[in-house]
Chains A and B, each alone.
Chain A
Amino acid sequence: MSIGTADCHRDVISVESVSFSYQQKNVLSNVSFNVKERDFIGLIGTNGAGKTTMLRMIVGLLKPTSGEIRIFGEPISQFKEWNRIGYVPQKNALNPLFPATVKEVVLSGLVGKRKWFGAHSREDYNKCDDALMAMGVEDLADKRIGQLSGGQQQRVFLARALINNPSLLILDEPTVGIDHETQESFFHMIKHMHQHHNMTFLMVSHDMEMIKGYLGEQPASTAGKLNFYIRHSHETQDCVEQNLAHSLKHLRAQMASAKEGK
């Protein structure tokens, strides 16, 4: 029996020579990159570089013209566990009259799991409260979504993405159209989540200041007009710890079985 090592370098997203063209125009050609567990990837590029296109392909809203995308090791067409992914789209023009409360919007993040009509369970409401609390917008729960400011709405959408406790969070320019101060606190929150939760981040952003401040001055890799800034999160240390824990567990099991054998 061999002592296996804990697998802590899993690929969360792998993009292999993906190209995308739209009406005979090449938007992306031959892009490859990997996102490992607990990485924080910042995706930067000029307008029209294909950042949003890349994200939309990763979440399955667009199909690559060629190449392959795998999520958690599975080809995207076969991927089923969408509740492991939280996606916060670019701020969309929300109809201010839309009759939905903040709570209803956040609860809608659970929809993939629901099969049958019924009131949400106690557990659902608790999850919703937790997500709202984590974003600091719990006092807005019963407000209509259209009455909120842009920054508040963005927090609500982040709360919706978080309600499933996803292992991968994909953010598309989460702070566009939000004032500087709110942006700061939003990034602060995201950094905190990255450092303290077992979550992988992929974020498109215009905010070079934030990206460079957290992910380093130079892009780790480039592909066409896309620049990838990466921060690995205590990965090596984690791996050592995980391997150690794994070996210890194995050892204990062996000792236990040896005892029983006597």
Chain B
Amino acid sequence: MIGITAPLIGIFLVLRRLSMIGDTLSHAAIAGVALGFVIGDFPIIFGLLFSLLASFAIEKLRKSYKSYAELSLAIIMSGSIALASIFFTLGRDLSMDANSFLFGFIYTLTATDLWAMFAVTVAVLIIVGRHLHGLFLITFDEEAASVSGLPVSYYNVMISVLTALVISISIKIVGGLLVSALLTIPAACSLLLARSFKQSIITVVIVGELAVIAGLLIAGVWNLAAGGTIVLVLIAMLLLILLGRNIVSRVA
């Protein structure tokens, strides 16, 4: 399920040159999950809360530093890591394992987690589907979107919230440090392959889903870390596409 939703949101982020936003929000989510463990409950909820807060903070900062959007990301990212490190130290007595947040802890998935993933997937599909044309325009040309009467700031918030949602459900599988790969690498593949926006949407979903399934299978068979394997499969796919394109362009 995250094989579909993460790349689907990721393509909009990448095309708006906000690839790093995923990275930042996932760090915020790590801090949230850590806090959840310190308090002793609802790590996913806290992760979601933190990445939501972070996404609003980013939008605010983005307005103050208009032409330096990435500055706001750097600030929030380091802030989140600082928070996470403090929570980790607080939680050391509770035998908290920092590794599991950073690299995923798929073997501790519960039924509740699966339901949360299912709900988020459905929500993302409906919202993106419903606003596909608006999202396209805002991604392609934010000013034109605003002139044609689209509520641009509402859309920006929507994208941030969806990103936060997707990250907080993905974190258990691929881990906080690797979520952004799931957002960005499928988009990178589609930029190489797709001619139209429609094609690029289809490409990201296929690439993302394939990588997650293949990654989980490989990880299961050889007993490897799930998150890391998925990301490596993604990178392998990207390299294959690059290679294939070079060969095609040399032949043609």
Contacts and interface: CB of A to CB of B under 8 A. Distances in A.
Contact of A108 (B130, B137, B143, B199): B137
B112 interface: no
B191 A97 contact: yes
B118 interface: no
A99 B146 contact: no
A60 B198 contact: no
Given A60-B146, A87-B147, A99-B196, A111 B141 contact: no
Given A111-B150, A117-B132, A101 B195 contact: yes
A16 to B, nearest CB: 21
B149 A117 contact: no
B134 A144 contact: no
Interface residues of A, number: 30
B133 interface: yes
Interface string B97-125: 00000000000000000000000000000
Contacts of A104: 136, 196-198
A144 B131 contact: no
B140 A105 contact: yes
Contact of B148 (A101, A107, A109): A109
A144 B143 contact: no
B147 A82 contact: yes
A116 interface: yes
A89 interface: yes
A100 B194 CA distance: 8
B147 A59 contact: yes
B122 to A, nearest CB: 14
Given A59-B147, A87-B144, A117-B129, A99 B134 contact: no
B237 interface: no
A83 B149 contact: yes
A92 B137 CA distance: 15
B140 A98 contact: yes
B26 interface: no
B128 to A, nearest CB: 9
Given A83-B149, A111-B145, A112-B149, A144 B196 contact: yes
Contact of B146 (A61, A80, A97, A117): A61
B140 to A, nearest CB: 6
Nearest to B129: A117
A89 B144 contact: yes
Interface string A66-100: 00000000000000101101010100100001111
B47 to A, nearest CB: 29
A103 B199 CA distance: 13
Contacts of B131: 117
A114 interface: yes
A99 B148 contact: no
Given A61-B146, A104-B197, 19 more contacts: A59-B147, A60-B147, A82-B148, A85-B147, A89-B141, A97-B191, A98-B15, A98-B140, A99-B190, A100-B140, A104-B198, A108-B137, A109-B144, A111-B148, A112-B148, A112-B149, A117-B130, A117-B133, A144-B195
Interface of B: 15, 129-134, 136-137, 140-141, 143-150, 190-191, 194-200
16 contacts: A59-B147, A82-B149, A97-B191, A99-B15, A100-B136, A100-B196, A101-B195, A101-B196, A104-B197, A108-B133, A108-B136, A108-B137, A110-B133, A117-B129, A142-B196, A160-B144
